[in-house]
Every structure is written in structure tokens, then in C-alpha cells.
Structure 1
Amino acid sequence: TIGKLDNGLTYYLKKNTKFEYKAELRLVINAGSILEDEDQLGLAHFVEHMAFNGTKSFEKNDLIDYLQSIGVEFGADLNAHTGFDETVYKLSVPTDDAKIFDTSLQVLRDWADGITFDDAEIDNERGIVAEELRARSGANMRMYYQSIPVLTNNSRYAKRSPIGTLDVIENSTYDALKRFYRDWYRPKLMALVLVGDFDVVETEKKIKKLFSDLTTVKNPKERIRYSIPENKAPAVSIVTDAEASGVRASIYYKKQETVVRTLEDYKQSLLQKLYTGMLRQRLSEVVLLPNAPFLSARAGIGAFLGDKDSYYLRVALKEDKISEGINTLLEESERAKRYGFTKSELERYKALLLNNADIYRKETGKLSSRYYLEQYIDNFTDHKPIPGDEFKYKFYKNILPGITIDEVNRIGEQWVKNENIAVVLNAPNKESLVLPSENELVEMLNNVTTKEIDRYNDTLGNIKLMDFKPEQGEIIETSYNDKIDVTTWKLSNGVTVMVKPTQLQNDLISMSGFRPGGSSVVPDSLYVSARNAGNIIGSSGINNISTIDLKKLNMGKTVSVT
């Protein structure tokens, strides 16, 4: 159920019984650090902290004390986060007690317009927020914020990081904090997202009663959607940090965002999934090569920041093959753009997407509430569609057979261009590491378009998992334990099988097997080999079929073996 109150507040309600008597509640504010004034840097996040330090219904720490008394733990069940463009308050609560559920809704109502902002509590919280800023300033966070000016071409995002500045956090006026709350916490910028084991009709009535008197703001400030300027030449950021754990590179080809409004738009997003999904498959094959030039790599198309989407390439690099790894990544992307994909690759990936959609359709009611939460929040903040699992499966089933290889291959030309490119290279700060320069990275981007690159060769052919099926054995003994509803079969080959029916999933069966032994019974000289035997066997394929080809054979099938 999706609805909107007269004051503009949007609500999303979804019954989900995956976890009995449990609900996930979210208050989403379509406002974050990007909207801060110069005297408010970091205060969007500070407001989030003050939500737990006193509201109209709960003085000071009474809120946390109450929630902990009903089994809600801070961090696991009670939390919040502030981003550039949104703030989200999170509660996980029981629903088997109507009074507790109603009080939880009141907490959301208080956060919407009832945070008290006691001056003494603000001052007490400054040190906590400042310490969180310091704690968050780990290597990855430091490098990320250093690269934002390059990623966003010195846009407003470069000057509005959610963590803010220490000076503002420690010295801002009380009114600067309250002003952000007054300006941006208003019904038209709010959404309630509730998913869990509750009565939707009754809960909708409660929301209307509790939130309808939220007042609208007269002469509200405009909620600006800030843009990211285009850049003709590639922008490069090389950031090192003594605490960095590895060498990573990201390459972004930015493009104006596209809001999916029509079925044709939705088909375009499907074409993008096919293109980048097949490219990821090729990159995963490179990782398995002897002396592979990188540790892992990914590709995709998705939301970037502000008004931009991006086609992105990300790679975890080997310290002795940094340039080689980046070049190989670019070559694989160029190979896909120049020659496209093969029909056999496309048919396999079509089968994979359709099968995945079928799994989600069949598992309705058994999926995590967070699966739905993310869709509803993205719909409110970024206008992403919520097609529903049944619709998605039917759409895929109808559309996928008619999608041609030419349609998919055109995606590369549409996205991989020689403008609006940003490159970020992050690495440990150590003398032994040889990093390419900014100019060398730009040369790699330029040179790959004229390199001699061979077409991709799909080697799967007509491989079969096995030429003949094993001879069938028989069950020689059966027993049943009615206390735990487990049936035990003894097979003619000596294997014992224990079977228990459950309702944890609708259409999935989980199997595991073991035998006595393991690394504890081998001599010391073989311990390392024994400990790694499972990983080695799992990466070695089966029946003279490589791991790469084994994955290809099973694409579109619901099977996973580890």
C-alpha cells in the first residue's frame, strides 16, 4: 500500500511474515548534507543525533531506555544514517504487543517534528559527534572524501560531506542546528516506510490519525536537486593513505540520470543489466587465469551522485601489476564495446535473469523485510520504480526472448565515451609501491581505443556436465524421529541422509554433507594442504570442466555448490 496524506507525507506499508511478530520501521527525510548552509556543515548529521536526546514524548535519554526495555538494541535495531541527499531513521520492533507497536509509531512521529533540541543536550552531544567524525576518518573514508572534488567536478557535493567540519560541530550556534530541522523536516519531504508482520489496514488508519496534523511549512525553501558539471577531459584523483589496505581503482563514465517512467525505460534498464552482467562474467574469467593481472573486478550501470548516473569499472589490483591490471580492465571494457557480446553469452545471461526473477517471485513472503525497504526508500528519494516481483518476472518472460544481441551491444556506444570520465586510484602510502601518474592514467584511457584487441572467444561449446548418469542405488533402511520431524535414510552405498521439511523457503532446498576427519587427523606436514583443500577443490572444476565453464553450464539454473 502506497499513500499520501493531505499534508504531503508519503507512506509505504507492506505485510511481510518472514519474521513473525517483527516489523521494520523507517522515517525517510528527502534532505541531507547537500542542503546545509555554510554555518551548518555537519549539522544534518547532528540533527540525527539529537533525535535520540529528547523529544516531545521522551525526555533526554528516556527514548533509548524505553526501547531497550522492549528488547530494541541501539545499533542493531535502533539507528539512523545521514547521506548527501537523505536522512533515514531506523527502528526494528516487535508487533505482538499493540501498545509497543503504537508507541513505536509515536517515536517516528516525534522524530518528524518533535525533537526538542535542549541547549544543554546539544552541548553534551558535540563531543560525541566530534568523536564520531574522528572515528569515521579511517583510510577509506579519508580517501573517498579527498576524491569527491574530482568525481563531481568541484560541484557542491565536494563541499558538503555528511561528516561536516570539526569547527562547525564544536562551535555552531544552537539556531543553526534548529534551523536545518525547521527548514527541511517537513511533510512533503518525508516518507514512512513500514514492512513486517502487522495489519496493513489498521496500521494505515493509525498513520492517518497520528501524522495528519503534521503542519506544512509556509514559504518553504526550495529543495534543489544539485547538478554535477560535465568535464570534457578525464579527471583523475590519486590518493594514498598509510592505513589503506590495498590498491583499488574506479573509472566512471558519467551521464545525465534517466528516471524510469515507461515500459520502454524499464526495457532499457534491462538491456543495461544484460550488458554489464555479461561483462562481469568476462571479468570473473580473467581473475581465474594463471598470473591474473588483478584480484577482482566489477562493472555496472547505476546511480552516481546528484543528477548523474554512471557506467563504472572497479578493480582490486595486485601491487606488482597495477598498470597491467588497469590496462586489462580497460581492454575488457573496450572489447565489449568494440565487438559486443556473443549470442551464446546473451542466451545464458537471459536465462540467469529470468531464473533469478522466478526465484524472487516464488519466494514472496520469505524474503527479508530489508529487501522491500530498500526498494521503497529508493522510490521515494530517487523515483526508482517498484515493479513487484510477479510483474518483473512476467515482464522478463515476455521481453527477454525478443531482445537481440544488437540491442544489447549498443549499450556500450551509449555509455562509454571520451567525456565526463573520472578516475580514482587509491593505494597504501609506501615507498616500494610504483603508481602510474595522472598523465599515465589518461594515456591508458586514450590508448585503449586504438589498441589491437581480439574478439572474445566463448569456449563452452557442447560440453555436458556428465556423459551418463550414475547408476541408481536404493534405500536399504528408513527411520523417522517424530519429535523433530526428521526422516533418516540409509543408502546402499553407505551414505546416511537426514531429511527435514520446513517452510523457511517456498521453492528452495538446502543440502549439506560431511564425513568424519578433516585437518585435525592429518600429520603436521600436511596441515596447510588439508586446510586449503576445500578451497582448491572448489576452484578446480569437475569432470574435466573448468570452473569458468561450470558456471556457464549452470547459468539459469537454481543450483549452488560450495
Structure 2
Amino acid sequence: MNKQIPFLSLLLILGGSAFLTAKEAQPTKWPQEDSDIAVDPKVEFGTLKNGMRFAILRNAEPPGRVSLRLHVAAGSLNEADDQRGLAHFLEHMLFNGSRNFPDVENLLGQMQRLGIAFGSHANAYTSFDETVYMLDLPNIEEETLKLGFDVMRDFGDGALLSSEEIEKERGVILSEKRSRDSVEMRLMEQQFGFLLPDSLITHRFPIGTEKVIKEAKRDRFTSFYEDYYTPAKMTFIVVGDIDPLVYKKRIIETFSSMKNPDQPGTAPEMGTIPKGFKFQAAVFSDKEVKSDDLALGFVQAYKTTPDRVSNRIKRYPLRVANSIIGRRFDILAKKEGSPISSGSAGRFEWFNAIEFGSIDVTAVEGQWEAAVPVMEQELRRALQYGFTSTELDETKAEIINQAEQAVQRADTRQSSSLAMGLVNSINSNRVFTSPAESLRITKMAVEALTLEKCHEALKSFWKDRDLTITLTSRTAPENGTSTLAALYRKSQEVKVDPPEKKEDVTFAYTNFGEAGTVTSRREIEDLGITQLILSNNIRINLKRTDFQKNSISVHARFGNGKLTQPAD
């Protein structure tokens, strides 16, 4: 499987002529070693003598199960020109014969007998800068654990990569490549080709090229495997209903004998991005595009900073500013006759090398021209006048509420989700924190927020940028690029008013009338469901669960949908 890139990101990676260099993915220390942020105390972190890192977390949801993850800090960006697509191809090959499991069919049979389903329990993905192997074991019996650890060790350095199996798998990879010939992929290629023509990213999509997939010899696979599948680039993660001491011993026994090559693969040179153009416009089209999307943004080289409390707090004013702008778009989209159906603002980071900002809106069908000034003027309104106290208070309350809810649900987090949380912290080089520590930092950040800080953060972020405005549509309008640029410049001439200040209002729904009664009650014991009928004939199904603490899910159904609509 291939990890997809958020569609918003694809629209908004823009130009500058800065040189980008990816860092060597051979961390010798965990981020918490240079941080004042408290790492989650329930996780045991360690590093083997060969440089391989590991993290172990006891978690009893679901009981009697364990999730294993092997993170390799290498992906398609590490490929040579004649290896394009082999990082992903190699991911497939690791399931097709290894030191402990030379017979693929025998391995699959063992997995099925132990209740390990390929796809739901065993899977993997390859991205630009990482490859991740995932095993969610359905039990913690010794036979199951032995298979899981043996498979993961073989992923590390035991792949056979036989020429016969490579030939068999070519058709599978080609079929997957064809299945990804989607509107999103085609737009990606257009957008990257225009916005980042000289960036390595543009020329290293993980699925690769048909020529390499069809023709690459075995030595190109083994070269990538030996250069980048090294213990110094690996992190092994265990999360589940386990004894950490037992699993630490098992990790040491399983992986300590792995060796690093004398000359490991080097970090990729990321190339350049355009710079100094001030403003440009572009139109991208595909017959399967479902909506007209507009985006305005910029890109710059990303400067990495240690994951410390002060740096996390510094990000909050801009985060809040973007959230308020998004809320303004939500309100505008609901107004009668609005030319937009949605909108948002954001800041994003890629590969610890690229940082970019964006404002984007989805236009109502046929109204993209009217949507351009909405996008431009809402950003300018925020830049010129800032925000209101009501907007700030509402956003602060939402942020705190989310962090508090995370604390309340902490005990019922699923092991597979926690394992992926640890995976996601690796390439971002962020401290893996408990919900309680995240709430502590969130409260500090929210208490320090002011209208002035949010306004200044937004102005600083957008100051003196090379901007690109894009339209993505089903068909490219005639003279679309020049029209798009002209609409943007015309909008800039329109004066914008300050945001409307609204008085706080109390919640309107406080009186629901006289309470009804329960007229019928039925217990379905084998399903653990209580069925009620109320005096107004509303029917209710109730089920108590314990797998998501401090959370209530409500689903309501009204009528019979379109079946009851009149023909006209």
C-alpha cells in the first residue's frame, strides 16, 4: 500500500528558489532527550548497540492483543533514477520469501491458522520518506508472537528477493499503478510539474515509473535494501496487553545481531523550488474533477527547531488565526447565494524541509470567478483588522475542550492507534506525550493567547511572500490563467471592512417543554441492547459499551429518506 498525500497539500506546494536538503534519517537520540516536554511515562524507549531504536507501551485495549510496527526511515526519495518505484516494490517483496519463511504460501498458511489475516492484520505502506510494516496480532500466544517477531526481523535483513518472485510481482505492481490512475494522481502530477519542477519530490512518486517496474534487475532491489534497510534507520514499536520487560528482552534477542553496512545510503538532495516571482497563477484540469477549488499560498524552506514547550506554544497564535479564518468561511458558505461551499486556512510541513501556508475554498458549481474575491478579501480582512474577542474565546474553548476530551478517553485508546501515533512521532521528531502532558502545554498556550499575538502571527506568516493562486476545475476556462490573475488583482482594489463584532448570546434551547414518558421497554440480552418507545412514538436503541471511555455516540434517523419524497 502507498500512503497518500493530503489533497490540500498537493494544491498548495508553491515556489521559491531555495535549496532543500533532507537530513540523514539516522537519529542517535530520542527527541525527549533534548526537550523539556515530559515524554509519556508509560512508554519505554531504548536504542540497541547497532543503532536500532525501540518503543514499548503496555495497553490493554483490546485485551490479549499486541500491535507491532517496524518503521524504516527510507522511502521513494532515497531511490536513484533507475530505482524509481523500487522502495514500494520492495515493500511487496518482503512478503514474498525470506530467511525464516522462504515459502510464501507456507507463511500465509501459518498466518491464517493463527488468525492473522493479510490486509486487516498484516499490512505495510511506502511514502516519500518512510516505509512502515504493520502486524496486529489477534492473540499473545507464544506461537503467534514468535511468528510476528520472526517476520519483522526478516523484513529488516532477511528478504530473499529472488529473481523469480520479482518477475511474479511485476504484474501486481503494474496493476496497482494502473488502479491509481485517479483524478487525484493526475492532478498531483500536473501540480507538482508546475509548482516544483526541479524538486526531487516531483520525480519520486512512490508508485514509480512503468519502465523501472517492468525492467529493474535484482541488483537494483538488493542495492536499495542493503543501503537503506539498516538498523540505524529502523525503529521497532510494540503496543499491547503485554509485559514490557519480557518484550524488551525479546527485542534485544531478535534484532541485536543486525549489522549496519560500511557505507550506508546517503540522504537525498531535494532540489530547488522557484523564487522571486512575486505572484503567479495556474489552472489545473481533469475531466473527473468534482468541484472547482481555489487556492492561494506560498512555500519556503522549513527551519527545524527542537520540540520544546516554548516552540509548541509559539505555534498556537497562528493555529488559532487559521482556525478563525476557517470558521469565517464556514459562516460565509451557509449564507444564501454564497459562491463558496467551504474554505480553510492552514500551515503545513513536509519532510522537515518545506513549510507552506494556504488559503483555499471550494466554489459552488459555476461560480469560481465570484469565489476568488471571497478568498482574497477574507484573508486580507484578517491581515488588516485581525480578530474579535468573541472569535478568540470560542476557538480557545474548542482547543481546551479537545485536549480535555483526549485526557478523558486516554484509558480506552486502541493499541493499533497508539502504535501509529508512535510511528508518526518518528519522522516529525516530536516527543510522544501523554494526553495529560498535552493538556498541560495546551492550557499554557491558550492562557498566553491574545488578539494581538494572533494578528501578528498571521501578518508575519504572510509577509513578503511569493504567492501562487491556482484553480482546479473539470475543464480549463478559456484564458483561465490570465482571468484568474486579473480577478485576484481586481479584488485587491476593493476595500474590506473590519469583522463584525457580535455580542455574546446565551444558548437558545433551554426549554424543551413537558417531559414525555417511556411507554415500552424491551431488553435484548444476547446483544446487550435496551429498546424503548416514548410517548411521542420515538423509538430508541441503547447499548452500553466500555471501549471508548467518557464518550457517547448518538445516531438519529428521520423518516424514510428519498423514498417518501413526492415525484415532483
Q: Please indicate the TM-score interval, normalised by the length of the shorter structure.
A: 0.7 to 0.9
Kindly provide the CA deviation profile for residues 468-512 of structure 1, in whole angstroms up to 9, marking residues without a partner as x. 564556778988777766667787777676655432332123345
**Structure 2 partner of 1:37:** 80
Of the candidates 255, 258, 267, which is equivalent to residue 214 of structure 1?
258
Aligned to 1:372: 418
2:49 matches 1:6: yes
Deviations 1:320-365 (A, max 9, x none): 1122223312222222222111111111111111011001111012
Distance, in Å, in 1 between the alignment partners of 2:212 and 2:555 is 55
Number of aligned residue pairs: give it: 522
Partner of 2:299: 254
Unaligned runs of 5+ in 2: 1-43
> For residues 296 and 495 of structure 1, do their structure 2 counterparts lie closer, same or farther at Cα, with a shift above 3 Å needed?
closer
Identity score, percent: 24
CA contact (8 A) 2:376 2:492 kept: no
Structure 1 residues 117 and 259: alpha-carbon distance in aligned structure 2, compared to 1, 3 A threshold: same
Distance 1:7 1:409, change over 3 A: same
Partner of 1:20: 63
8 Å contact kept, 1:31–1:189: yes
For residue 156 of structure 1, the aligned residue among 197, 200, 216 is 200
Of residues 152, 162, 165 in structure 2, which corresponds to 1:118? 162
Counterpart CA distance in 1 for 2:478 and 2:501 is: 34
1:272 matches 2:318: yes
Measured in 2, the distance between the counterparts of 1:20 and 1:205 equals 22
Which residue does 1:550 correspond to in 2?
none
Distance, in Å, in 1 between the alignment partners of 2:253 and 2:68 is 17
Q: Structure 2 vs 1, CA of residues 153 and 268 (structure 1 numbering), >3 Å: closer, same or farther?
A: farther
1:397 counterpart SS class:
helix
Q: Partner residue of 1:64?
A: 108
Match of 1:416 in 2: 462
Which structure 2 residues correspond to residues 284-299 of structure 1 after superposition, within 5 A? Answer: 284-299=330-345
Report the CA distance between 1:281 and its aligned residue: 1.0
Normalising by structure 1, report the TM-score: 0.84
Map of 2:287 onto structure 1: 242
Indicate if the aligned counterparts of 1:228 and 1:308 stay in contact, CA closer than 8 A.
no
Distance 2:177 2:518 in 1: 63
Q: Tell whether 2:194 aligns with 1:146.
A: no
Partner residue, 1:75: 119
Over 3 Å counting, the alpha-carbon distance change for 1:490 and 1:324 in structure 2 is closer
Q: Residue 122 of structure 1: SS of its match in structure 2?
A: helix
Asked whether 1:129 is paired with 2:173, we answer yes
* Aligned-partner Cα distance in 2 for 1:491–1:35: 63
Q: Which amino acid aligns with 1:252?
A: G
Displacement of 1:286 in angstroms is: 1.7
Shift in Å, 1:412: 1.3
Q: CA RMSD in A?
A: 2.9
Helix, strand or coil for the counterpart of 1:365? helix
CA distance in 1, matches of 2:432, 2:380: 33
8 Å contact kept, 2:352–2:428? no
Deviation (angstroms), 1:273: 2.3
Contact kept, 8 Å, 2:518 with 2:532, in 1: the verdict is: yes
Name the amino acid aligned to 2:293.
Answer: R
Taking the aligned partners of 1:482 and 1:127, their CA distance within structure 2 comes to 51
- Of 348, 351, 366, 1:302 maps to 348
Shift of 1:14: 2.4
The CA deviation at 1:421 is: 3.4
Moved more, 183-192 or 137-146: 137-146
Is it true that 1:96 corresponds to 2:140 in the alignment?
A: yes
Distance 2:63 2:459 in 1: 49
Alignment of 1:492-503 (within 5 A): 500-503=543-546
Change (3 A) 1:462 1:485: same
**In structure 2, C-alpha distance between the alignment counterparts of 1:514 and 1:135, rounded to whole Å:** 36
The residue correspondences of 1:321-360 to structure 2 (distance < 5 A) are: 321-360=367-406
Offset at residue 2 of structure 1 (A): 2.0
1:282 matched to 2:282? The reply is: no
* Secondary structure of residue in 1 paired with 2:552: coil
Per mean C-alpha deviation after superposition, the further-off stretch among 128-137 and 191-200 is 191-200
1:503 partner amino acid: D
Is this contact kept in 2: 1:241–1:427, CA < 8 A?
yes
After superposition, the Cα gap between the structure-2 partners of 1:405 and 1:174, relative to the gap in structure 1 and judged at 3 Å, is same
Q: Do the aligned residues in 1 keep the contact of 2:412 with 2:549 (CA within 8 Å)? A: yes
Aligned mate of 1:400, from 446, 467, 471? 446
My pick for the range that moved more, 297-306 or 100-109, is 297-306
- Aligned match of 1:176 in 220, 223, 226? 220
Shift of 1:315: 2.8
Q: Is the contact made by 1:26 and 1:90 (CA closer than 8 Å) also made in structure 2?
A: yes
User: Structure 2 CA distance, aligned partners of 1:521 and 1:47?
Assistant: 50
Deviation at 1:425, TM superposition (A): 3.1
CA separation in 2, counterparts of 1:11 and 1:280?
39
- 1:520/1:454 CA distance change after superposition, 3 Å: closer
Q: Say whether the 8 Å CA contact 2:318–2:458 is kept in structure 1.
A: no
Could you tell me whether the CA contact under 8 Å between 2:293 and 2:362 is conserved in 1? Answer: yes
**Higher RCO (CA 8 Å, separation ≥ 6 residues):** 2
Once the two structures are TM-superposed, the CA of residue 304 in structure 1 deviates from its matched residue by 3.4
- SS of the counterpart of 2:356? strand
Structure 1: runs of 5 or more not aligned: 529-562
What does residue 311 of structure 1 align with? 357
**How much does 1:58 deviate?**
0.9
Contact residue 293 and residue 471 of structure 2 kept, 8 A: yes
**Greater CA deviation, 377-386 or 345-354?**
377-386
State the 1:289 CA deviation: 1.3
Q: What is the CA–CA distance in structure 2 between the aligned matches of 1:160 and 1:356, rounded to whole Å?
A: 37
Q: 2:275 & 2:351 partners in 1: Cα distance? A: 15
Cα offsets for 1:299-324 (capped at 9, x unmatched): 22122356012222333333411222
Classify the secondary structure of the residue corresponding to 1:226.
Answer: strand
